[in-house]
Amino acid sequence: MAKTIFITGASRGFGKLWAEALLQRGDKVVATARDLSTLNDLVSKYGDNILPLQLDVNDRAADIAAIQQAKEHFGSIDVLINNAGYGLFGSVEETNEKEAREQMETNFFGLLWLTQAVLPVMRQQGHGHIIQVSSVLGLVTLPVLGLYNASKFAVEGLSETLATEVKGFGINISLIEPNGFATEWAGASSAQTVAMPEYDAVRAAFQAGLTDDIFGVPEATTPAVLKLIDSETPPLRLFLGKVAYPWVKQTYEGRFAEGENWNEVASAAHGK
């Protein structure tokens, strides 16, 4: 059965790939972008099955209005895919207030506003699926991506909590956690801080670790995302790529080992 999917950040990358795959199989798609011209090819090809909406997810009132317009246009919203976001490259010390706030506004607050806006629609329907495009960097970290890491860690905590709150309404929550993929995320879609020479060695080490093999093929993610959307019992977390899960597993094993080493001190701190 065809579904109605609302997807943000549909102008390029994962968002556009997934939007077109959904349209190809007959779903109805509400696709948002800051620049509507980036959706002209989809509109000309799929006609009434796509509703293109100009949207800056940082605008809470516009987010609420977009959800309402989508509901009125198609009658329902079965799936919300919060895909809009970008990477901010720079060390924590290099990051200024404006850069930090803008990173959180888009990656976290924009996602929050749309999530809040769609929940009443899904509660009234008695069903729904909210898919948050997080990152493996919401569970593990890399240097020179501290604010991006923080934004995705926030998305993880919010979404895991939300899943426990809305399950009784028939609403599922999923976090998509990709490793690196060959999209424009690290290029045209990204932002950079002003570099401090003190961190040149850190940046060099980071760049040296970016081998071609760790970047997946974006088109290869589509079957996994369609399967997630179609699942009657979707997982809370879906890793994408061959690097993500092993990396998280190794990192968490290290955290548990460190916790075990300090458990006597931790237990004594309980006081009783």
Q: Which pLDDT tens digits describe the chain residue by residue (272 residues)?
A: 899 999 999 999 999 999 999 999 999 999 999 999 999 999 999 999 999 999 999 999 999 999 999 999 999 999 999 999 999 999 999 999 999 999 999 999 999 999 999 999 999 999 999 999 999 999 999 999 999 999 999 999 999 999 999 999 999 999 999 999 988 776 677 899 999 999 999 999 999 988 888 899 999 999 999 999 999 999 999 999 999 999 999 999 999 999 999 999 999 999 99
Which residues are CB-neighbours of 149 under 8 A, at least 6 positions away? 137, 138, 141, 142
Single out the catalytic residue among 71, 86, 91, 134.
134
As a whole number of angstroms, the distance between CA 200 and CA 232 comes to 48
Structure tokens at 119: 């929940």
pTM, full prediction: 0.96
> Is 152 one of the annotated active-site residues of the chain?
yes
> Is 134 one of the annotated active-site residues of the chain?
yes
Single out the catalytic residue among 3, 28, 71, 152.
152
The DSSP output letter for 217 is P
Single out the catalytic residue among 46, 86, 148, 199.
148
As a whole number of angstroms, the distance between CA 193 and CA 191 comes to 7
